[in-house]
């Protein structure tokens, strides 16, 4: 049975961080919705326009995974949304998975989801996040961090979007090896330093 994943996007999001998980997870046969924070049409931080499949509402509680992209000012809009914050807290209390990358962890931090958590983020926002969390442990030496206890996945930035998308799938119990080979991700991993 397909897993349900919501990628919550605001105007000013980083397009590669929003759309890479959508692309990879749909290729893997999962049910993925682009959820608009405040409107159906989204304009990313590089002026790429795309449409949400649905708007943010309480149905966010029904997803197996919620994914937050970074990008500015999009990540700030996610951080400042009271509705999203309330839903993230409810998801966390229910033991559901949440993921954020780049500047996206700002929304997790503001709402207490990074307290006592191993996480990573874009280098320039780690101090802002650190000021809002209790006993969190920032890691700058890994592409993706999975905190099994807190059910949080975080990643660094645009270049780590594929690794992040595959890790999200793997955490949900989805086999990724065939797609990694088909998309030449394994080739990239083997030759990145050539």
Catalytic residue ranges: 102
C-alpha distances in Å from residue 186, one per residue of 94, 143, 166, 176: 35, 15, 11, 11
d(CA 139, CA 87): 26
d(CA 27, CA 157): 22
Taking the mean position of all CA atoms in its chain, how far away is CA 150? 15
End-to-end CA distance of the chain: 40
d(CA 151, CA 70): 19
Name the residue among 117, 138, 118, 116 with its Cα closest to residue 127: 138
Query: Given the DSSP bridges, would you call strands 152-155 and 144-147 parallel, antiparallel or unpaired?
Result: antiparallel
């Amino acid at each position: 049975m397909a897993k349900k994943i919501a990628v919550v996007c605001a105007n000013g999001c980083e397009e590669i961080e929003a759309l890479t998980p959508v692309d990879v997870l749909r290729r893997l046969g999962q049910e993925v919705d682009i959820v608009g924070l405040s409107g159906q049409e989204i304009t990313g931080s590089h002026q790429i326009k795309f449409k949400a499949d649905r708007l943010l509402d309480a149905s966010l509680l029904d997803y197996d995974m919620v994914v937050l992209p970074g990008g500015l000012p999009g990540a700030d809009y996610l951080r400042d949304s009271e509705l999203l914050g309330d839903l993230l807290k409810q998801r966390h209390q229910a033991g559901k998975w949440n993921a954020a990358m780049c500047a996206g962890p700002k929304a997790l931090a503001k709402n207490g989801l990074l307290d006592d958590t191993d996480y990573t983020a874009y280098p320039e926002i780690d101090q802002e996040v650190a000021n809002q969390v209790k006993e969190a442990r920032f890691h700058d030496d890994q592409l993706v961090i999975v905190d099994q206890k807190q059910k949080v996945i975080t990643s660094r930035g645009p270049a780590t979007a594929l690794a992040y998308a595959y890790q999200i799938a793997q955490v949900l119990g989805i086999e990724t090896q065939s797609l990694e080979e088909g998309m030449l991700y394994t080739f990239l991993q083997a030759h990145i330093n050539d």
